Amino acid sequence: MDEHPGRAAWRVAMVLPLRGPAGLFAPSCEAVIRLAVDEINGRGGIRGREVEYEVIDGGRAPAAVAAEVGDRVARGAVDAVSGWHISSVRRALVPVVAGRVPYAYPSLYEGGETRPGVYCSGETPDVQIAPALRWLRDELGARRWYVVGDDYVWPRVSARAVHDFARHLGLDVVGQSFVPLGTGRVGDLVDRVEATPCDGVLMLLVGQDAVEFNREFARRGLGDRLLRFSPLMEENMLLASGADATANLFVASSYFRSLATTGALDLLADYLRAHGPGAPALSSAAESCYEGLRTLASLAERAADDRLEAWDAAVDGTAWEGPRGTVEFRGRRARQPVHLAVADGLDFDVLTALPAVVP
């Protein structure tokens, strides 16, 4: 796998959205990446080599991102790929990366990725959306849901899973609507929700699209009578939405900045110590980048050698303790605790750990 064993640095291409609706994640992600790399290097690096990273703009068209990453891999300029980016980018990257360098994909996603050399540690709908819907049904009586989303693979496949969950949980999906990613047409979604009797809205919107939806939702006074639930609503999105636009907004995630676990508190303390109180808001998207680098470091430690086949052989049972608690690969799938929180002004109040629901 390592075609240049004499090179001192172990280089990781961190693919982050520097533009588009998810661009508001990038400053926090870069700040956490610097922290994670320093932590790994303080423990001796990866396979005895100091880790260096470069950021590649994952906010462009997926084919353009794949072309740039593929070129770097072909030239031996990177030893691994990670970072927070959407599933459309992942689907474009896998064919140019798989079998050549390890690819740690830490973002929440729709599930189903099993190709060699690809290590997904993010949340999937069955352990994130399904148990949250059950809790919202049991505790708040929410049974009729309208699904809104951006029109690409993660929202589309997740929405199909929601229909399966609804049948299992005795819920009704009363409608669903999608808009092109980053076009700002979220007002169309609010129109349809407003016209449809429902108890809640399941949001599969990314970054600024979700922010604009929240603002328009609040402007029409819908927040007082309808729940919103999202598997992707991180701290920067909450800040950008504004405290007046987040009433009755519930979120399921493996990490919140307000999570009161030892690992989460340690990360927050280290982050503030490294970057100061004026740093970008520590967020779940940024923490995913931390998990991606931890995935690479943990697999490298267990693998017998540098061959990608050795990494694949080591993945089952790889585990570490971190901000999310215990993250463990079972087979080729990572498992970790998932929590439900409600927006409380400009932060999250963590309500409960969610048990797994398997429809």
pLDDT value at residue 141? 97
The residue with tokens 């290590």 is 119
359: pLDDT confidence band, cut at 50, 70 and 90? very low
> pLDDT tens across 123-153, in order?
999 999 999 999 999 999 999 999 999 999 9
Q: What is the pLDDT of residues 1-57, one digit of tens each?
A: 444 445 589 999 999 999 999 999 999 999 999 999 999 999 999 989 999 999 999
Fold of 9-124+260-335: Rossmann fold (3.40.50)
pLDDT at site 356: 73
If pLDDT is split at 50, 70 and 90, which confidence band does 212 have? very high
- Is 90 exceeded by the pLDDT of residue 358? no
Residue 305, φ and ψ in degrees, nearest 5: -155, -170
Q: Can you tell me the mean pLDDT for 234-250?
A: 94
Please count the CA atoms within 13 angstroms of the CA of 356 that sit on its side-chain side. 7
Angle between helix axes 125-140 and 153-169 (nearest 10 degrees) is 50
Taking residues 166-170, what's their average pLDDT?
A: 96
Residue 278 has pLDDT above 70, yes or no: yes
Of 269, 254, 204, 214, nearest to 236 by C-alpha is: 214
What is the reported pLDDT for 2? 42
Percent of the chain with pLDDT strictly greater than 70: 97
Question: Which residue has 């609507």 as its token pair?
Answer: 177
Domain with CATH 3.40.50.2300 in the chain: 9-124+260-335, 125-254+339-353
pLDDT of residue 72: 95
Cα(348)–Cα(7) distance, integer angstroms? 44
pLDDT at 233: 95
Q: Which CATH architecture has domain 125-254+339-353?
A: 3-Layer(aba) Sandwich (3.40)
Q: Averaged over 283-309, what is the pLDDT?
A: 94
Secondary structure, 3-state, the chain: CCCCCCCCEEEEEEEECCCCCCHHHHHHHHHHHHHHHHHHHHCCCECCEEEEEEEEECCCCHHHHHHHHHHHHHCCCCCEEECCCCHHHHHHHHHHHCCCCCEEECCCCCCCCCCCCEEECCCCHHHHHHHHHHHHHHHHCCCEEEEEEECCHHHHHHHHHHHHHHHHHCCEEEEEEEECCCCCCHHHHHHHHHCCCCCEEEEECCCHHHHHHHHHHHHCCCCCCCEEEECCCCHHHHHHHCHHHCCCEEEEECCCCCCCCHHHHHHHHHHHHHHCCCCCCCCHHHHHHHHHHHHHHHHHHHCCCCCHHHHHHHCCCCEEEECCEEEEEECCEEECCCEEEEEECCEEEEEEECCCCCC
Mean pLDDT (the chain, rounded): 93
In this prediction, residue 99 carries a pLDDT of 87
**Is 78:11 a contact under the CB 8 Å cutoff?**
yes
HSE (CB half, 13 Å, CA atoms) of 349? 9
Alpha carbon distance 304, 103 (integer Å): 18
pTM of the model: 0.93
Calculate mean pLDDT across residues 163-178.
97
The residue-averaged pLDDT of 299-313 equals: 92
With cut-offs at 50, 70 and 90, classify the pLDDT of residue 98.
Answer: confident
pLDDT of residue 43: 93
